[in-house]
Every structure is written in structure tokens, then in C-alpha cells.
Amino acid sequence: MTSLNPAQATPPFRMSPPDARDSDCQLCRRHVPTIHTCFRQHTGAIVVRFTKKIEGDLCQDCVKRVFWRFTLHTLLIGWLGFLSFFIAPGFVIANIVNYVKSNKHFSHL
Ligand SMILES: [Zn+2]
């Protein structure tokens, strides 16, 4: 039998969501609201493939720029190759999910 300590049962109080920050953007270095997010780019080259990933605290402008650059690149040449044909759609879907989450976060600021 375990005893319940009321101090342990209460979740810690937070002023903002855990991923919300007002810090320096890791790409443009501006001190603006940021969100910790991740975008991936995939390049299929028939027999080889290349991936690129940006993960960190990004501002709204950088989120938008990186999302479109990485996602369009993956849509255009990410699927060229046997494994790439299956990997690229996953990267595109993950990028869209992270972009929507980021936009939702920035719209509430
Ligand atoms: Zn930025």
C-alpha cells in the first residue's frame, strides 16, 4: 500500500506551454518568441539517399521558410529511389504536422 503525498500529486504550475519560449532564434538570432520544432528534408538519388534535419528553437519566420524549403524539396526529388519512395511521404507528413503545431502556437501569442 502506498501513501499519496499531496505535494507530489499536484502538477507543477506553468505560465506557458512547455515548448513556448521567448529566446533567440537559433537560425536568425533574433530575440523573438520561438518554438522548439523539427523539419526534415529527404533527397532520393536512385541508389543512395540524403537526409537533412533542422531541430531547435525557431521563430515564426524561420519555421515558415524552413518548412517550405524542406517540404517542397522532398516533394520534388525526395521520392526518387526505392526506399526513398516510402520515406519521403513520411517526412512530408511529419513536416506538415510540425508546421501546423507551430502555427497554432504562434497564433496564440
Ligand atoms: Zn528565426
pTM equals: 0.79
* One pLDDT digit (tens) per residue for the chain, 109 residues: 444 444 444 444 444 454 556 789 999 999 999 999 999 999 999 999 999 999 999 999 999 999 999 999 999 999 999 999 999 999 999 999 999 999 999 998 8
pLDDT attached to residue 9: 47
Give CA–CA dist 45/77, Å, rounded: 8
pLDDT attached to residue 98: 98
pLDDT attached to residue 11: 47
Give CA–CA dist 96/109, Å, rounded: 20
Residues 6+ apart with CB under 8 A from 38: 53, 54, 55, 94, 98
How far does residue 71's CA lie from ligand 1's centre (Å)? 18
How far does residue 36's CA lie from ligand 1's centre (Å)? 12
pLDDT attached to residue 22: 76
How far does residue 93's CA lie from ligand 1's centre (Å)? 22
Residue spans per domain, the chain:
20-107
Alpha-carbon distances, residue 10 vs 6, 7, 18, 39 (angstroms): 6, 6, 17, 34
How far does residue 75's CA lie from ligand 1's centre (Å)? 24
Q: 102 by DSSP, 3-state: which?
A: helix
